[in-house]
Amino acid sequence: QSVLTQPPSMSAAPGQKVTISCSGGKFDIGKKYVSWYQQVPGTVPKLLIYENDKRPSGIPDRFSGSKSGTSATLDITGLQPGDEADYYCGTWDTSLSIAVFGGGTKLTVL
């Protein structure tokens, strides 16, 4: 069971917007930065958002992140078929003293 809670699956049509949530607690998201990773099936996880809301070079601005209190969200606008992937949130758990991930959200672009 993951420390961070994400919806197992979401779906939306091309061109639409989707918001993936990541819920934690006062010892993890409540104290630390959140990152997001995209894993297209059969490939390596890729850093999508770091330090709550920053995008690495090469990540389109259709992807955005935010954090409030003990929760974080990943917004994807203008959905494309290539966005179909698993999305994971991650942070540091100060009580466990280890990095932790959410269980992942499988995004289907209909």
Partner 1 sequence: QLQLQESGSGLVKPSETLSLTCAVSGDFIGNNDYGWGWIRQPPGKGLECIGIAHYGRATYYAPSLRSRVTISVDTSKNQFSLKLTSVTAADTAMYYCARHKSQVDWFDPWGQGTLVSVSS
Q: Give me the residues that bind partner 1 (CB under 8 A), please.
A: 2, 32-33, 35, 37, 44-47, 50-51, 56, 88, 90-92, 96-104
Q: Evaluate the CA torsion angle 19, 24, 28, 30 in order and state its sign.
A: positive
Q: Are 107 and 84 in contact (CB under 8 A)?
A: yes
Q: Which residues are 37's β-sheet partners? A: 47, 88
Least Cβ distance, residue 31 to partner 1 (angstroms): 11
- Pick 62 or 106: Cβ nearer partner 1: 106
- Pick 69 or 78: Cβ nearer partner 1: 69
Angstrom distance (rounded) from CA 85 to CA 108: 7
- Pick 63 or 101: Cβ nearer partner 1: 101
